[in-house]
Structure 1
Amino acid sequence: MNRLKAVAENSDQNSRNVSFLFPLSGRKARFDQVLKGEAPADFFYGGLALEKELGSLSYVDLRKEPVQPLKKAFLLFERIRNRFVNFGLSKQRVRAFADDIPAGELVISFTDSGSMSVGRYRNYLSKDVVLAGGFHGLCDIANEVAPWARVWAKREIRKSLKDLDYCFFFGEKDREEAIKLYGVDPERSCIFPFGVDLDFWRPGAEEDEGKDGLVFSVGSDPKRDYNCLINALDGRYKARIITRLHVDPASLGANVELVSGSLHGSQITDMVLRDLYWRSKMVVVPVRNVIQPSGYSVSLQAMACGKPVIISNIDGLWDKEILKNGENCILVPPGDSVAMRDAIEKIDKDEVLRADLGKAARQTAVENFGLDRMDQALITMVQDLQSSHPHEKGHRHGTRR
């Protein structure tokens, strides 16, 4: 019997219901696509397994907007402020979705801004909720804030963490630094390992393999370092880059196709992205040297598709023990265009190496990075939080200020 079934079968009226704090736009459509095999299940962070087994999962819209004109005006101010200082924190979002979270819920947030906001402004929620906040790159956040606002940002982060009941991190290095920098309690935090849908992200047909002959790179995380990649291409290799980040068109050269919206008039769906992986010669994930495990989703998707992957060997690399340079991927120093160029050239010229890296990448993904590990991590976290924070009878809503 798996651990989640044990929770379900042994739970009583004191168990807490679970709510995901989640951007709900497009969730229903994506859920239908998952059922049809047209989208991967990893988007839900294990929520589908939890919902299926426990049957008590609710979704609360992280991006809900207030109805009242004055609160809308305050939200507009927050959005302008956040963009100006590069810091995601919103009181008005929390006030807007507060009534959608019943008293006594176990609330789990999967975004940095959502986790910070719900911790910082938990006084708008019922007093007896339990808040678990997930972070993709907590310790890089303040470094990306405008210099004059960093003291304020760090203070707000500390206040947020103080009022979260539990924290989970997508990278070990980020957790270690959070413990040192912000005093996160090791006993109230854990690593949440990301996994990919191996049934969806899979090798393509042989005739599609490397059909476009391109170096392929995708992602809009601000930690991406496309300048490093463009310099590495050096006008010698054809490449396609898909990103919403600003890239200077003058730096590209005729050999690089930059895609910021649709591709040839078509929306870039998960199925289109998978096809682009299949048709590429290799996938490159260039990242600045950050603590955040940036680039893990693209890297694991491409590896699961059996593609040779070049990854920046950043401080926040999510699994230094499993990712082996020259065996299942190529690791290059972050920001080193020469090393990246050498790696591209090596894979481009050596067909046997290209095939071996692709096979090893798929095998590594199957053995270590499937959905099951993410599902089980969620199961364990829910079980632990249920047992350590049992639901008390006679709960009351807290005062909303």
Structure 2
Amino acid sequence: MKIEDYKNVTDRIEIREECRKEIINMSIEKNKSKHKWSKKTFIPVIAAAIVGCTAITAAFADDVISVFSKEKAKQEITAEVADGTEYKVNKGNQLNYDILEDHAESLSEECDTNGLKVKAESIFCDGENLTVIFTAENNNPDIENNYHIFAKGVRVDIGGKSFSDIDNMCLPWIDLIRDYEGASAYTGTFQMHIPENLRFTDTTDIKIHIGVYESADVWENGNILDYYEYCRENNIDYRQDPQGAEKYYSQFNAGGDFLLKVTPDMSANKINDTIYKDEEIGIEICQVKSTPYCLSIKYKNSSEMSLAMLVYDENGNQLELNLANQGEYDGNYQTHNFSSTDSKAITVQFVDKNSENLDVVCSFEIPLD
């Protein structure tokens, strides 16, 4: 059992204390040489400052980097702390964009909001989860091209029923990250778990409403540390807009709506309903589902031990927990979502968090074919 594998799972989105003085600009410079962004990726369009959406025809040039490649590259951006260790900046996003690209549908739904042109580029729904990749171009001369653009006041309407970002079970939110330092172009992925009572199998109208966009440099110049500390001390969800943290933001004056027709694609879904048990330890896995969006494991933990779950593909590579959409608890069974895989089998391990070497107390080999 590797200690580092456990840390990769348990080290959540909160910034570690040792990162306090060293952060981010160095990581962007480091990764610019690794990922050469084309400056032709986005064509700026100056438009009236209106709130509205327009369906347009998507056009792609040969030298344009796909939104999937850009999002994949941002998963690799790291910051180096004082002791030389690297820290993932965009660690909350654990989607497998190589697999997702083969199944997602292209979109061309666009909103122009006070100089911010936002476009829904790609969509995928596996029946239980929805993900949309957005791009943005900031043409507002009064708002700097900061590292992040957050979409706040997000509400999703599915078949006439809606929920918002104050719904703790779903918490839809959008974080657009600048494509490279000095750019006015942004890319980000929206993820959400669809509540069971709102799921659908046929083509369905979905509206994603954005209340307001805010530009922030919270990942730069050390500000992220102060912001997270403020949220921790005041028990505030960092994805909301906490009173007292406005100094980190520049706000666009309005939001907008994206009107999408969504058809679930479950053709690549694989489900293993075999029950795997270790009665002595108190672990029962009742379902493993593999989709292009994620690998989900539904299980019950009645153990008196303090256990953590680790998942590996058939080559021994660890599958990361999807921090942006971790799963759900139905009062009896817990579901955890991990990055998707094309592996034909996985290994699921439960380790004792209180043991000195994080001992594996039970392990299951589970086929996916």
More helix, by proportion: 1
Same fold (TM over 0.5): no
More strand, by proportion: 2
User: How would you bin the TM-score normalised by the shorter chain?
Assistant: under 0.3
**TM-score, reference length from structure 1:** 0.23
Q: Which protein has greater RCO, CA pairs closer than 8 Å, 6+ apart?
A: 1
